[in-house]
Structure 1
Amino acid sequence: MNIENVEAFVYVIHCGSFNKAAEALYLSQPSVTARIQSLERDLDCRLFDRQGKTVQITEEGKRFLPYAQQLLMTYRKGKLHVNRKKSLPEEIKIGCTVTVSNYVVPELIPRLTLLFPNTHFKFVTGVTDEIVGKVLNKEIDIGFVRGVSHPNLHSVKFYVDPISLYVYKEHPFVGLERISAAEVAEQPIVFFECGALDWLRVHRIFENLDRSPNIRIQTDNSEMAKKLVLGRAGICFLPGLSVRQEVAAGSLVPIRVPGTDGIALQTNVISSPGEHGQFLSEIIAIGKQLNVH
């Protein structure tokens, strides 16, 4: 089995189309198609249903996906060990926002420690501006921040986390196909405010109403907001990563609200240009896998 074919499969899922996968892999669209077809022949099954310009992963593709991701991780790990340079640092200092430390680092670090078994990792948390300053001052090596760019930093998109309204499982909104902004405004609301511009878009869904939304509690801590919803103190707009386990368990339920499609928090990875390339490439690869889920 050709590892490049497996890589193309994962990228098509991550990017959502053959064309976008081709752009990400610096290939032509026919080349990506040929790689997928070759992989389908190897596996003797269809991995995608093609409907015009859209592609939909098949059930066979869904079953193969975790193995494809593991194959890529194993290949990259082996490649790193074969080509490992002695100049790899013994310690990498990483700065991150609280959200990243709570929900991304627990998935990130086990994979990095497998790839870099001789490297120690030190984490510090802070807000985006603090982390940017620490990277610029060489106090930390790599930073996870909100989607920012800086002329003196290398910045790459790591993760895009959709924001949705979440309610506890017995809430009257559960099971309704469509909820209006006015109906949301009448409910007790726990408002998680993290300072990102995307939260202004959440505010705007209420701006044409005759009355202000019933914001009972405001907090800058997503864990506190989530637990308040679980405790039925209100409903809350939250990033998907922070509630993934609760949604899987059925204790929290996402509710679709008009005007909220496309609202998301973007996390970027920043570093000084030209430094820590091996670590960054593996971190970005892990980010692609996280975005698939």
Structure 2
Amino acid sequence: MNIALRQLKVFVTVAQELTITAAAEKLFLSKPAVSMALSELEKQLDHKLFDRNNNRLLINEQGKRLLPLADELLARSQAIEQLFDQEGPVTGKLKIGSSDTVGNQVTPFLLRDFRLDSGHNDQSLYISNTAQICHMLGEFELDIGLVEGKVQQEDLVVQPWLGDEMVVACHPEHPLAKMKQLRLSDLEQSQWILREPGSGTREFFLSRISPRLELWHQAFELNNTEAIINCVAAGLGITCLSRRAAEHALNDGRLVLLELPLNMQRQYWLLYHKEKYQSPLLKLFIAFCQQWNLPQSTTAPN
């Protein structure tokens, strides 16, 4: 048996993209070339790796067994190719996924410090909601995830990371802003501006706040934190979001906090696939994340 790295690259890409057409575009190959490479691999292994459903290819149990091994071999081959091209103790590209709040407010400063500490400068950062980051980790499209949402996915290692504080905020002229010693019942009938399903911020609201309200209304559902802040600043409703994300709008007076008798602490999480090959680079980054603390000043150096 003579399995080529090219075949494994095609297999992993098809598993991620789900169609021959999308895989061919990503690999800059023709569709016949992708189909042939995949067919040759399945013939050599004497096993089908995908179930065909119209034009979509859904990875089957045999394919799922192969995926982490193929991912490891490709990662090792990439490390060999880059061994003499990069200065410093570790080589390779690190693919990081972050949910919205972590990705915008925390991960850039983590990467700044990691680069200074390790001398490694080849990282990519993908920002989406927690559900999408978990999906991409499961498909081996990312090496590591840093998220704020609660995760229950059996194929992922889930480790507590940093702490965070959530806040409820509104426009300074909102009627709730005029009230002293707010009770949760004062939030009844309020119009809320919330993140989309799959977001850790929305999950916090649905698990911690909404069960304590008899009636609340969703005015808007948005997948961008800054858009939520602007809608609240325009007086369109109130919101629940991370203090880190709201800090600039609180400082410039566009938003004010509503102090509530409720524990608003939450956890950030560090995620990676249980079967993910941990290269020296990935091990180094995980260890760095575990000992890192967000600096008090999160401003980039001049």
Scaled to the shorter chain, the TM-score interval is 0.5 to 0.7
CA distance change for structure 1 residues 246 and 284 in 2, over 3 Å: closer, same or farther?
A: farther
2:263 aligned with 1:256: no
Which residue, 232, 248, 262 being the options, matches 1:245?
248
1:99 CA drift (Å): 2.6
Are 2:229 and 2:249, in contact at CA under 8 Å, matched by a contact in 1? no
SS of equivalent to 1:139: coil
**Could you tell me which residue of structure 1 aligns to residue 162 of structure 2?**
159
Are 1:190 and 1:225, in contact at CA under 8 Å, matched by a contact in 2? yes
Task: Give the share of equivalent positions with the same residue, in percent.
Answer: 20
CA distance change for structure 1 residues 161 and 290 in 2, over 3 Å: closer, same or farther?
A: farther
**Could you tell me which residue of structure 1 aligns to residue 194 of structure 2?**
191
SS of equivalent to 1:266: strand
**Could you tell me which residue of structure 2 aligns to residue 106 of structure 1?**
108
SS of equivalent to 2:177: coil
CA distance in 2, matches of 1:292, 1:264: 20
Matches within 5 A, 1:4-23: none
1:152 CA drift (Å): 4.5
Kindly provide the CA deviation profile for residues 31-55 of structure 1, in whole angstroms up to 9, marking residues without a partner as x: xxxxxxxxxxxxxxxxxxxxxxxxx
Q: Which amino acid aligns with 1:267?
A: Y
Q: Which amino acid aligns with 1:278?
A: L
1:245 CA drift (Å): 1.8
SS of equivalent to 1:174: helix
1:227 CA drift (Å): 0.9
CA distance in 1, matches of 2:253, 2:96: 34
**Could you tell me which residue of structure 2 aligns to residue 181 of structure 1?**
184
Are 2:171 and 2:254, in contact at CA under 8 Å, matched by a contact in 1? yes
1:86 CA drift (Å): 6.0
Matches within 5 A, 1:127-138: 127-138=129-140
Which residue, 92, 95, 103 being the options, matches 1:93?
95
Q: Which runs of 5 or more structure 2 residues have no equivalent in the other structure?
A: 1-86
Give the greater-gyration-radius structure (CA): 2
1:114 CA drift (Å): 1.2
SS of equivalent to 2:248: helix
CA distance change for structure 1 residues 292 and 271 in 2, over 3 Å: closer, same or farther?
A: farther
Are 1:90 and 1:119, in contact at CA under 8 Å, matched by a contact in 2? no
Q: Which amino acid aligns with 2:127?
A: T
Deviates more, 1:234-243 or 1:244-253: 244-253
2:174 aligned with 1:171: yes
Are 1:89 and 1:119, in contact at CA under 8 Å, matched by a contact in 2? no
Which residue, 100, 114, 117 being the options, matches 1:115?
117
SS of equivalent to 1:245: helix
CA distance in 2, matches of 1:289, 1:96: 15
1:91 CA drift (Å): 1.7
1:252 CA drift (Å): 1.8
Kindly provide the CA deviation profile for residues 13-71 of structure 1, in whole angstroms up to 9, marking residues without a partner as x: xxxxxxxxxxxxxxxxxxxxxxxxxxxxxxxxxxxxxxxxxxxxxxxxxxxxxxxxxxx
**Could you tell me which residue of structure 2 aligns to residue 289 of structure 1?**
294
CA distance in 2, matches of 1:120, 1:194: 32
TM-score (normalised: structure 1): 0.58
Q: Which runs of 5 or more structure 1 residues have no equivalent in the other structure?
A: 1-84
TM-score (normalised: structure 2): 0.57
CA distance change for structure 1 residues 93 and 257 in 2, over 3 Å: closer, same or farther?
A: same
Deviates more, 1:146-155 or 1:88-97: 146-155
Q: Which amino acid aligns with 2:115?
A: T
Kindly provide the CA deviation profile for residues 151-191 of structure 1, in whole angstroms up to 9, marking residues without a partner as x: 55433222332222101233343364312334322444323
2:270 aligned with 1:269: yes
Kindly provide the CA deviation profile for residues 201-225 of structure 1, in whole angstroms up to 9, marking residues without a partner as x: 2211212xxxx22432233432221
1:117 CA drift (Å): 2.6
| RMSD (Å), alpha carbons | 3.0
SS of equivalent to 1:94: strand
Which residue, 175, 191, 203 being the options, matches 2:210?
203
